[in-house]
Structure 1
Amino acid sequence: MKTLNLGILAHVDAGKTSLTERLLHSAGVIDQLGSVDDGSTRTDTMALERQRGITIRSAVVSFVVDGVTVNLIDTPGHPDFIAEVERVLAVLDGAVLVVSAVEGVQAQTRVLMRTLQRLRIPTLVFVNKVDRGGADPERVLRQIAEKLTPAVVATGRVDAPGTWAARCVPFGPEDSGFTERLVDLLTAHDDALLAAYVEDESAVSSGRLRRALAAQTGRARVHPVFAGSAITGAGVDALIAGIAELLPAAEGDEDAELSGTVFKVERGPAGEKIAYARIFAGRIRVRDRVRFRRDEEAKVTAIGVFEDGDAVPRPSVGAGRIAKLWGLGDIRIGDPLGTPPDRPAGRHHFSPPTLETVVVPCRAADRAALHTALTQLAEQDPLINLRQDDLRQEISVSLYGEVQKEVIQATLADEHGVAVTFRETTTVCVERPVGVGAAVEWIGKEPNPFLGTVGLRIEPAPIGSGVEFRLGIELGSMPLAFLKAIEETVRETLRQGLSGWQVTDCLVTLTHGGYWARQSHSHGVFDKSMSSTAGDFRNLTPLVLMDALTRAGTRVYEPMHRFRLDLPADLFGTVLPVLARLDAVPRTSTMRGTSHLVEGEVPAVRVHALEKQLPALTRGEGVLESEFDHYRLVRGLAPSRPRWDHNPLNRKDYLLAVARRVTARPDQR
């Protein structure tokens, strides 16, 4: 049986979860529809999801249609949980983008569609809530063509929109207007079809047009638009038929070498780790030893494959499927299984979080429990970037927004029994090197107390390139373990630059390296005092690197968002001074009928304040859309962040801390 891994995506409250519920009901997987408002849906399993009526974690269910097993992944719609959507994108064969027939195209709708198009994921659009008061499917269809993509075609019409009696009527071959629109759309990408139609219109059958529509949809060139209501079921059967006919099934060779990716990790009732993985090639069997990340291996103890609504135990899982895997205790989100696939789950399609806050336990005795709980949350959402400050006994997390903070607080209280508060949310800046800096410390020469030679050069690299590490010495001149220790320490050390922010967009070159080979006294055992170990290089590298970075110098950059603000034209003059006070810089301003569209940039730290003020400023009519765009050089005094390591910028204190650590753990070297 063929498999289709399908994502349901939308702006929050467009009706994704209700649509998922309706699809399962129409396919016969569930007998009774659940309700988001009642907290009884199949995919919102977290207590907090049921209480708040929003999706926080992606969930997988399945159904069968026309001989195809559809693994349906319901994703969060709120922008604070965009990281969940990002991980799901890596495993999809197709998507359904849900748009409300009342609210129309919204900020997150645009972000999602741009990403789906960039990744060339075949996508159907479903205009939901046609039964709601104020529904206007024709207006929304025009919005989709104007704001998302012109390569769309409606597959049917809606009768009595905005009423409980709303019904959806699919277009057929007899609808000449539909045929003309379909021909115009498809011939733009198909010269053979265009030639055949020009030569003889009647020779191009409706069957040929449907096959061309399926082919071009499968290549993400066009996007059929369906309409209906997840609540009443209107139009859902046509959507299901479109999913089976127009979206391509998964491909993969079960006889090939294993290749897969982990896109979700959760904990079972007994605390065991469960990995959700898409298998792109090969097969995994229970008791197989599976290689993941670089060289790690673990035995798969159980497999669950999604069938008939949920995961059922199976002895194996093959290419094209999504599975739950037990036994991979050290697995992390984004880890490849076997040979890394072409589209790993760790690749970033959306911006990283740009906010940060300190999590404070209400009871001092809960510090250890808080760390354990946050560590488990970081397994499920690595982008919270858990940061432990041992010097101040503080734990920080990265955030996309204030709603995410509320969810973390409620999750810690409900699932872990830890009550917390938060410090003020701050912006996460980055540092970039200004010039070129180099440093070296030689083995056996003062002031180097470690048994290793390390020389490093750091220099600027292109914007967006991250951190690149290169060897400036011959590969065989040092043991691979020592080179690996140096590279890993370089990347870890650069999490804190001269001002405490992560250093990025730089090239680090290992210019010198040396060691003392393993030695022992006559008839004696191995002598650490005479032989270099990986610990020597891990301890020495931060000193050399920060010396080189100090010589290069750094500048601090703050995150900036690109914004689009649609507001009533008569309020344009009132809103401009508010934007100025928030350090927002309008770049363009366009009149569109009775509204004004303002586009520009605003510091990430100001976005939440703008969102809070907008309803009062615009009589509730203003619509704000923003997303991370770039980092801007900080104007004036650059902000700094307290260090949480042993501060290799202060040599004396650093060496004392290393000595204490080595004394506490004599096996360090």
Structure 2
Amino acid sequence: MRNIGVIAHIDSGKTTTTERLLFYTGRTYKIGDIDDGDTQMDWMPAERERGITIVSAATTTFWKEYRINIIDTPGHVDFTAEVERSLRVLDGGVVVFDAEEGVQSQSETVWRQADKYKIPRICFINKMDKLGADFEGTTQEITDRLGAHPIIVTYPIGKEHEFTGVIDLMIMKAFVYDKDEKGVEYTTTEVPSDLATKAAEMRAKMVEQISETDDALMDKYLNGAEISIPELKAALRRAVIAYKVVPVYAGTSLRNKGVQPVLDGIVEYLPSPADLKTV
């Protein structure tokens, strides 16, 4: 089981991301749209009219046999107290960033709140289809402005109108969303040739960063030994739960690309209640 919250600065695509999480897990059979006022999580008339989250809303879904309890929190600065109230009961968080805007003021506020309550988290850099989207720049801001240690797990294929999918750096495969507009089906292919060198560099950096969190892996890394994917994932999970690092994912919720890997990240790297010490 995972008890998670989705948190972000307003207009980062937080509720849209939550709606996709529910759709891809089968919790809903129609994608809720803020503009249409039919989202599952923004249920109050004032929320649907204004297109913002005012109070936290909770629901339950399942992904790969894991139960996920999701709380969608407000993103507007006026409702910061509501966010903090929700954070007290969370075991993990998905922090959503706008790829063009980067780390914004409320992003910093909710991040500090999550630090206060020692909430392990993963990051989703959303809106990769947006003009001016800058994945690596936003990742750097997560380091510079939030003092975090991001580890890129999925890397974008293209950006803006040319964004077509992501590269999973763990397995070095590309997920290309070219089969249907809803993003339910996608093609798993080899890494595109024009990104092969970059992807190899990014994976090498990821392996080094994960190894730095684990003495046994660091010994293998320094000795040039092969580190298996299960070893990498297990070490990354331990590091996330210990608040050492934050995995980073790329995508666009509105265009339905790159969301399923975030679901995988939730169950693979965020803690269950049993993983956390009783305070």
TM-score of Structure 1 vs Structure 2, range by shorter chain: 0.7 to 0.9
Indicate conservation of the 8 Å contact 1:76/1:82, yes or no.
Answer: yes
Correspondent of 1:69 among 67, 70, 85: 67
1:248 counterpart residue number: 271
Counterpart of 2:219, as a letter, is: A
Residues 151 and 185 of structure 1 are in contact (CA less than 8 Å); yes or no, is this contact kept in structure 2?
no
How far residue 150 of structure 1 moved from its aligned partner, in angstroms, is: 4.3
Distance 1:179 1:164 in 2: 22
1:401-412 correspondence runs (5 A): none
Residues 151 and 223 in structure 1, CA contact (< 8 A), matched pair in contact too: yes
- Which portions of structure 1, spanning 4 or more consecutive aligned residues, are displaced by more than 4 angstroms? none
Alpha-carbon distance between aligned partners in 1 of 2:47 and 2:82, rounded to the nearest angstrom:
14
What is the alpha-carbon distance in structure 1 between the residues aligned to residue 45 and residue 5 of structure 2? 23
In the TM superposition, what whole-angstrom CA distance separates every residue of 1:201-231 from its partner, at most 9, and x where no partner exists? 2242232112101111122211000011111
What amino acid is the match of 2:269?
L
Q: Kindly state the Cα deviation for residue 164 of structure 1 after the two structures are TM-superposed.
A: 6.3
Of 211, 226, 233, which residue of structure 1 is paired with 2:234?
211
Give the Cα–Cα distance (whole angstroms) in 1 for the partners of residues 127 and 200 of structure 2. Answer: 27
Aligned to 1:149: 147
CA 1:168 to 1:218, structure 2 compared with 1: closer, same or farther past 3 Å? same
Aligned to 2:11: 13
Report the alpha carbon displacement of residue 12 of structure 1 after superposing the two structures with TM.
Answer: 0.6
Shift of 1:173: 4.8
Decide whether aligned partners of structure 1 residues 179 and 239 sit closer, same or farther in structure 2, where only a CA change above 3 A counts: same
2 CA distance for matches of 1:49 and 1:164?
32
d(CA) in 2 for partners of 1:88, 1:182: 32
Counterpart pick for 2:32 among 34, 37, 41: 34
Q: Which of 190, 197, 206 lines up with 1:182 in the alignment? A: 206
Contact 1:77 1:108 in 2 (8 A): yes
Distance 2:99 2:43 in 1: 27
Q: Distance in 1 between matches of 2:133 and 2:101?
A: 8
Q: Which residue of 2 is the match for residue 196 of structure 1? A: 220
For residue 163 of structure 1, give the secondary structure of its aligned residue in structure 2. helix
Q: Is the 8 A contact 1:136 1:162 kept in 2?
A: no
Deviations 1:7-46 (A, max 9, x none): 0000011011000111111111111111112211001111
Write the letter of the residue equivalent to 1:16.
K
Q: Structure 1 residues 201 and 119 mapped into 2: Cα distance closer, same or farther (>3 Å)?
A: farther
Q: Which runs of 5+ in 1 are unaligned?
A: 253-279, 281-340, 343-669
Partner of 1:47: 45
Q: Counterparts of 2:231 and 2:154 in 1: how far apart (Å)? A: 18
Deviation at 1:47, TM superposition (A): 0.6
Quick one: percent identity of the two aligned structures? 37
1:237 to 253, 260, 269: 260
Q: What is the CA distance between 1:87 and its match in structure 2?
A: 0.9
**Distance in structure 2 (CA, Å) of the matches to 1:157 and 1:180:** 13
**Residue equivalent to 2:195:** none
> Is the contact made by 1:130 and 1:161 (CA closer than 8 Å) also made in structure 2?
yes
Matched letter for residue 169 of structure 2: F
Distance 2:166 2:200 in 1: 18
* Per-residue deviation, 1:165: 4.5
Task: Point out the structure with the larger strand share.
Answer: 1
Structure with larger RCO (C-alpha < 8 A, sep 6+):
2
SS where residue 4 of structure 2 aligns? strand
Which amino acid in 2 is paired with 1:230? S
Matches within 5 A, 1:485-504: none
Q: Is the 8 A contact 1:92 1:121 kept in 2?
A: yes
CA drift of 1:69 comes to: 0.8
Q: Provide the C-alpha distance between the structure 2 equivalents of 1:187 and 1:114, rounded to a whole number of angstroms.
A: 26
In structure 1, the partner of 2:54 is 56
Q: Tell me what 1:225 maps to.
A: 248
Q: How does 1:522-541 map to 2 (within 5 A)?
A: none
For 2:248, what is the secondary structure of its paired residue? strand
2:85 paired with 1:87: yes
Larger CA deviation: 200-209 vs 23-32:
200-209
Q: Distance in 2 between matches of 1:132 and 1:207?
A: 34
Shift in Å at residue 104 of structure 1?
Answer: 0.9
Task: Give 3-state SS (helix, strand or coil) of 2:143's partner.
Answer: helix
Q: How does 1:349-368 map to 2 (within 5 A)?
A: none
Change (3 A) 1:61 1:108: same
Supply the distance in 2 between the matched residues of 1:15 and 1:138 (Cα, whole angstroms).
19
- CA contact under 8 A between 1:101 and 1:127: conserved in structure 2? yes
Cα distance in structure 1, aligned partners of 2:41 and 2:230: 37
Q: Is the Cα contact below 8 Å between 2:133 and 2:160 reproduced in 1? A: yes
- The answer to whether the 8 A contact 1:173-1:179 is kept is no
Q: Answer yes or no: is the 8 Å Cα contact 1:132–1:164 preserved in 2.
A: no
1:107 corresponding residue in structure 2: 105
Q: Give, as a single letter, the amino acid of the residue that structure 2 aligns with 1:29.
A: R
Question: How far apart are 1:170 and its partner, in Å?
Answer: 1.5
Q: CA RMSD in A?
A: 1.9
The structure with more radius of gyration: 1
Q: Secondary structure at the match of 1:13?
A: coil
**Equivalent residue for 1:129?**
127
2-structure distance, mates of 1:22, 1:67: 18
Tell me the number of residue pairs that the alignment of Structure 1 and Structure 2 aligns.
252
Q: Give the letter aligned to residue 64 of structure 1.
A: F
Shift, 1:85, TM fit: 0.7
Helix, strand or coil at the partner of 1:251 = helix
Aligned to 1:530: none
**Equivalent position to 1:116, from 114, 117, 137:** 114
The aligned amino acid for 1:226 is Y
User: Structure 1: how far apart are the matches of 2:240 and 2:40?
Assistant: 29
Q: How does 1:453-602 map to 2 (within 5 A)?
A: none
Alignment partners' CA distance in 2, 1:179 and 1:201: 15
| SS of structure 1 residue aligned to 2:249 | strand
Show the counterpart of 2:180: none
Which structure shows the higher helix fraction?
2
Is residue 128–residue 163 contact of structure 2 (8 Å, CA) maintained in 1? no
- Post-superposition CA distance 1:471-526 (Å, at most 9, x none): xxxxxxxxxxxxxxxxxxxxxxxxxxxxxxxxxxxxxxxxxxxxxxxxxxxxxxxx
Give, in whole Å, the separation in 1 of the partners of 2:53 and 2:247: 26
